[in-house]
Amino acid sequence: MDASVNRIPSSKDERAYLIALQGKHDDPKDIDYSLNELMLLVKTAGGIVVDRRVVRRSMIDPAYIVGRGVKDELRVIVQERGIKLLVFDLNNLKPAQIRNLEEELQCRVVGRTEVILDIFARRARSAESKIQVELAQLRYILPRLKGLGGVLSRLGGGIGTRGPGEKMLETDRRHIMKRITVLSRKLKGIKSHRELSRKSRAGEFVGAVVGYTNAGKSSLINTLARDDLFVEDKLFATLESYTRVVYLSPGAKVLLTDTVGFIRNLPANLVESFRSTLEEIEHADFLLHVADISSEDIDTNICTVESELRSIRCADKPVILFLNKSDLREDLSSIRHVQRRYPGSIVGSVKTGDGLDELVETIGQLHHSLYSHPTRRRPASV
């Protein structure tokens, strides 16, 4: 079975229509922010967002998600505006719902998870990240295999089709499980190599740079290490973890490791597939949490990252919070207000260099405190 993530050519400028469901107790601001984020995801995946809509429903319709009345309205919109893709701000759409809507509307239907998987497939560069993405795709498809039927027989490109796609119709559960086993074995080999690399860094002061996607993690490492990691103003610009040396003073240095950015509702199977990369966070001495202070929902972004860190049991590590992109927020009073909510945080901008000296000094103080009390440091080989 060939499930290469790069085998299907991308579909450029796919016209997409976004839909969010709002229940009785849902906050309209949260729904709006989530839709804004979904719009960025679709654009990152190469689509064109034609319009968006919030549908108020107390329950998800088991057949059409939005109900028959809205479904008929969508049919007219799809025809009149040339919509090729309907994207729901939901994870785990049921195969029957996808099939019913695609037959009724004559356009493709995907959820938030498929869009994120598509972006990861586009961004995968190293052998490890390609394996991780393919694993996530297969694990997502596996429980839905029985009901997808003709949906999986689609040929050609487009958001949500990249990966196993068109060959899945003739591939049964046994073949998928076999492929998952092979890929998992390959990842174990890569994990062993990572462990050897970590042993070679025994005794070094290591920090993992974490944060919400597009917060500026890679840019920060580039600036501090004077390096040239790939940087792009898009979600999930980098999937691989890189480690670079940053000199704190003539006699002290820190190894900073870039990590995959987090996002709300990150698919569980994706987190599981990237477990080997996230191990870099588990083995770090401290975490450098980079947050975008210009974001309208910075509190939710920070909470999302903290929640993900708790899920991988890394929330108890020393954390330095760097509030990046202060140059994009002109209101100084609002900046101070955010900083007061997060005591000990450092406000700055990688672009302008503001706050970087304070950040390096803070990392240096942490380095001194850990090395001044050897018993407080965990063994480097753990």
Q: In degrees to the nearest 10, what's the CA dihedral of 314, 267, 135, 131?
A: -60
What tokens appear for 126 in the block?
């190293």
User: Does the pLDDT of residue 315 top 90, yes or no?
Assistant: no
**Alpha carbons 293 and 218: distance in angstroms, whole number:** 16
User: Does the pLDDT of residue 304 top 70, yes or no?
Assistant: yes
Q: What is the 3-state secondary structure (H, E, C) of 283-303?
A: CCCEEEEEEECCCCCHHHHHH
User: Does the pLDDT of residue 231 top 60, yes or no?
Assistant: no
> Residues 339, 345: contact at Cβ < 8 Å?
yes
User: Does the pLDDT of residue 56 top 70, yes or no?
Assistant: yes
Mean pLDDT in residue range 19-30 = 91
* Domains of the chain and CATH, by start: 14-170 (3.40.50.11060), 201-376 (3.40.50.300)
pLDDT for 157 equals 55
pLDDT for 277 equals 66
Q: How confident is the model at residue 120 (pLDDT cuts 50, 70, 90)?
A: confident
Q: How confident is the model at residue 198 (pLDDT cuts 50, 70, 90)?
A: low
> Residues 212, 291: contact at Cβ < 8 Å?
yes
Q: Across the beta sheet with 346-347, what order do the strands follow?
A: 243-249, 252-258, 206-211, 286-292, 319-324, 346-347
User: Does the pLDDT of residue 240 top 80, yes or no?
Assistant: no
Q: Tell me the per-residue pLDDT of 252-298, one tens digit each, with 9 for 90 and over.
A: 899 998 887 888 877 776 776 666 667 788 889 999 999 999 998 89
Q: What is the 3-state secondary structure (H, E, C) of the chain?
A: CCCCCCCCCCCCCEEEEEEEEECCCCCHHHHHHHHHHHHHHHHHCCEEEEEEEEEECCCCECCCECCHHHHHHHHHHHHHHCCCEEEECCCCCCHHHHHHHHHHHCCEEEEHHHHHHHHHHHHCCCHHHHHHHHHHHHHHHHHHHHHHHHHHHCCCCCCCCCCCHHHHHHCCHHHHHHHHHHHHHHHHHHHHHHHHHHHHCCCCCEEEEEEECCCCHHHHHHHHHCCCCCCCCCCCCCCCCCEEEEEEECCEEEEEEECCCECCCCCHHHHHHCHHHHHHHHCCCEEEEEEECCCCCHHHHHHHHHHHHHHCCCCCCCEEEEEECHHHCCCHHHHHHHHHHCCCCEECCCCCCCCHHHHHHHHHHHHHHHHHCHHHCCCCCC
pLDDT for 173 equals 75
What tokens appear for 376 in the block?
């407080």
pLDDT for 350 equals 95
- Greater model confidence, 309 or 160: 309
Q: How confident is the model at residue 161 (pLDDT cuts 50, 70, 90)?
A: low
User: Does the pLDDT of residue 156 top 70, yes or no?
Assistant: no
- Greater model confidence, 173 or 1: 173
What tokens appear for 193 in the block?
């190599």
**Alpha carbons 307 and 323: distance in angstroms, whole number:** 18
